[in-house]
């Protein structure tokens, strides 16, 4: 009979020692017979640190840090150092009223191509806000031919494409900065076309329209 009690006590001890401590969290390192170099005093990414006042192990970069071997002058594209081109802004933070890229037929061609893919579904092929999405309930799409948008700085349109505006999403992941300028050039062409007069047509071709 005595052995039956011993066996029972042993089984209880075994059960508790195997099952009883599951789910317990501890910050101390596990007991290791051969620790080798498994536990080292080092910081892991995004861990906390008591050493720094802000409690972060990751240290922010000092302002103006550039990658080794690159400078803003030598590598403006990598560092996006040109605010006009990469943010549509002047040095004082206002929106640029010009194109920081060369406007030529190739740019307009590219702009027309990107516009048809990324803007036309909502803004319409003519830029009048009558895109296909209107029929599905997106009724707030404005027309580019409103005076407000005709008068809008190129840089502000760049900003709208980059960051979106209210219900319009950002297209920064789909259009590179250069493509955004191409689309803006095409938007300007649409606006110009809508408000053109006979005087805009070359004199030798006006006869065909009369």
Q: Which residues bind ligand HEC (CB under 6 A)?
A: 118-119, 121-123, 133, 138, 140-142, 149, 157, 160-161, 165-168, 171, 175, 183, 187
Cα separation, 59 vs 176, whole angstroms? 30
Name the minimum Å distance from CB 184 to ligand HEC: 7
Query: Which CB atom, from 25 or from 151, has the smaller least distance to ligand HEC?
Result: 151
Gap between the terminal Cα atoms of the chain: 120
Name the minimum Å distance from CB 162 to ligand HEC: 10
Query: Which CB atom, from 12 or from 172, has the smaller least distance to ligand HEC?
Result: 172
Query: Which CB atom, from 72 or from 140, has the smaller least distance to ligand HEC?
Result: 140
Cα separation, 113 vs 124, whole angstroms? 14
Query: Which CB atom, from 86 or from 171, has the smaller least distance to ligand HEC?
Result: 171
131 CB contacts (<8 Å, ≥6 apart)? 120, 121, 122, 123, 124, 138, 141
Name the minimum Å distance from CB 201 to ligand HEC: 27
Cα separation, 144 vs 129, whole angstroms? 7
Name the minimum Å distance from CB 90 to ligand HEC: 18
Element (H, E) at 83: helix 83-87
Query: Which CB atom, from 169 or from 201, has the smaller least distance to ligand HEC?
Result: 169
Residues paired with 165 in a beta bridge: 168
**Do 196 and 126 meet the contact criterion of CB atoms below 8 Å apart?**
no
Name the minimum Å distance from CB 175 to ligand HEC: 6
DSSP type of residue 59: P
């Amino acid at each position: 009979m005595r052995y039956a009690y011993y066996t029972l006590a042993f089984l209880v001890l075994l059960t508790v020692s195997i099952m009883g401590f599951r789910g317990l969290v501890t910050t101390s390192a596990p007991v290791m017979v051969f620790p080798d170099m498994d536990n080292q005093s080092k910081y892991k990414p995004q861990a906390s640190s008591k050493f720094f006042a802000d409690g972060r192990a990751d240290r922010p970069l000092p302002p103006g840090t550039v990658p080794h071997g690159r400078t803003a002058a030598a590598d403006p594209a990598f560092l996006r150092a040109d605010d006009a081109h990469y943010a549509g802004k002047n040095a004082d933070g206002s929106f640029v009223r010009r194109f920081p890229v060369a406007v030529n037929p190739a740019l307009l061609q590219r702009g027309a191509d990107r516009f048809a893919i990324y803007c036309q579904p909502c803004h319409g092929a003519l830029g009048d806000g009558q895109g296909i999405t209107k029929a599905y309930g997106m009724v707030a799409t404005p027309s580019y031919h409103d005076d407000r948008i005709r008068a809008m700085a190129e840089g502000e349109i760049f900003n709208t494409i980059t960051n979106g505006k209210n219900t319009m999403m950002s297209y920064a992941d789909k259009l590179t900065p250069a493509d955004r300028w191409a689309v803006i050039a095409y938007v300007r062409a649409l606006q110009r076309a809508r408000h053109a007069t006979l005087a805009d047509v070359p004199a030798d071709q006006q006869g065909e329209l009369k």
